[in-house]
A and B are shown apart, each in its own frame.
Chain A
Amino acid sequence: MREVPDLIACEECDAVYRKLPLGRSEVAFCRRCGAELERDRRAQRKHVLPLAIAGLCMYLIANVFPILELELRSGLFSHATLIGSVRSLRGEGMLFVALLVLATTILFPLIQLLALIYLLTFPIRFRRFGHPTTFNLSGRLIQVLRPWVMVEVFLLGVIVAFVKLTSMATVLPGIALWAFGALAFLLTAVFSFDPRCLYISRCGYKKQGK
């Protein structure tokens, strides 16, 4: 098995191209099917670590504080946190749905953020690669979990629930709602980071030794 370093294959139609040196923020597309081949991400690179740490802070706030608060004329009061909602789903016998919500809004974003922060600190900043399995696994986790992190979809769900509830009672947005908004924004910014960069010296990160 030999590596072919100067060529790249399109992921969607398998067409092979010679790699072009990309300028700042340039993107290379497949001529045949139009899929993205490579993207230059040097411009975003510096901001990723601070944004990821900010994301982790927002994540904590978003999961501790209530998302929506409800006030009734009769003086009754109710509020919901995300984890509380998941627990009441489980209490209703909806284990599958509860697990799905738990995974897509709580577990996967955390795993992804932690894996990213690990990759950006130890291997890249401190040049400590540790065991290659940890390194590879973190990179792969980020990629595999990508479609399953649904913070922005959840945010839209909060807005829909908000409007639904306004006809019944006074609804107040909780602190966690703003934190979720910020988290959705930060996750989008942070995961423009492509873990492939770790394996390709051209992205500016050099993997040392083996």
Chain B
Amino acid sequence: MPANRTIQPASQSPGSGVPVKTAAKLGMVSCPHCATLWEDVKAHDRCGRCGAGLHLRKPDSLRRTWALVIAAYIMYVPANILPVMITVPFLGKEQQDTIMSGIIYFWNSGSWGLALIVFTASFLVPLFKLAVLTQLLIAVQDHSKRHLLLRAKLYRVIAVIGRWSMLDVFVVTLMTGLIQIKGFATVHPGEGIAAFAAVVVLTMLASISFDPRLMWDVTEHEPGRSYE
């Protein structure tokens, strides 16, 4: 295989952004599961080592990611408006908490550190994730060559932080499980928490279905051509 001789060894200092040959250009496909590289792959071939399906790029990546992101935007509204937790004390008025009012409660009661953690996990992270995914999708569709390295890093960040938004779901679960005390108070989950959980799941699925290689494909080929 003549292509071999011109290929550089893997680097041990990350991200210097030099031009390279891609597997797609060399006619190779790497297995998404075990990373074995194959050449002369035909449609519907499976990896000879681990049996995973081989695709040049994740199938239907842009369409699937758009669908999931849009669904997440829609669920984001009820997640923030509807109450996530309803506290009914034995005596007195019932209290409805939204995501934001829970954070404000922590802030006012002096637990600033906790308020910041919950604010980051429940408010900043989902919003940041949606914004970044939208931006990545638009940039790929525009065949943008700008800020490739930055976009690669952003993708890596949202893939890691997304799961931490589940925090509020777990808090409501525990409160519901613990406070079912007759003669004191009961806690009920509100519809908001289901919408919020849906946002977390949808954005996680979106970042999994997005194929970051699509961003780099523009550096290889004339605009308009896509590997999808």
A residues at B contact (CB < 8 Å): 1-9, 11-20, 26-35, 37-38, 67-68, 70, 72, 74, 76, 78-82, 84-89, 92, 94, 96-97, 100-101, 104-105, 132-133, 136, 139-140, 143, 147-148, 150, 153-154, 156-161, 163-165, 167-168, 195-196, 198-200
Contact = CB atoms under 8 A, between A and B. Distances in A.
Contact of A74 (B183, B198, B204): B183
Max chain A Cβ within 10 angstroms of own Cβ: one of B15, B33, B176: B176
Contacts of B109: 167
A76 B184 contact: yes
Contact of A89 (B11, B26, B32, B177): B177
Interface of B: 1, 4, 7-24, 26, 28, 30, 32-42, 45, 48-52, 106, 109, 111, 114, 117-118, 121, 148-149, 152-153, 155-156, 159, 162-164, 166-181, 183-185, 188-189, 193-194, 197-198, 201, 204, 208, 212-213, 215-217
Max chain B Cβ within 10 angstroms of own Cβ: one of A86, A94, A104, A140: A94
A139 B50 contact: yes
Contacts of A27: 12
A88 B177 contact: yes
Given A31-B18, A34-B153, A67-B174, A9 B28 contact: yes
A34 B10 contact: no
Query: Chain B contact residues: over half helix, strand or loop, or mixed?
Result: mixed
Given A16-B21, A30-B10, A89 B176 contact: yes
A164 B197 contact: no
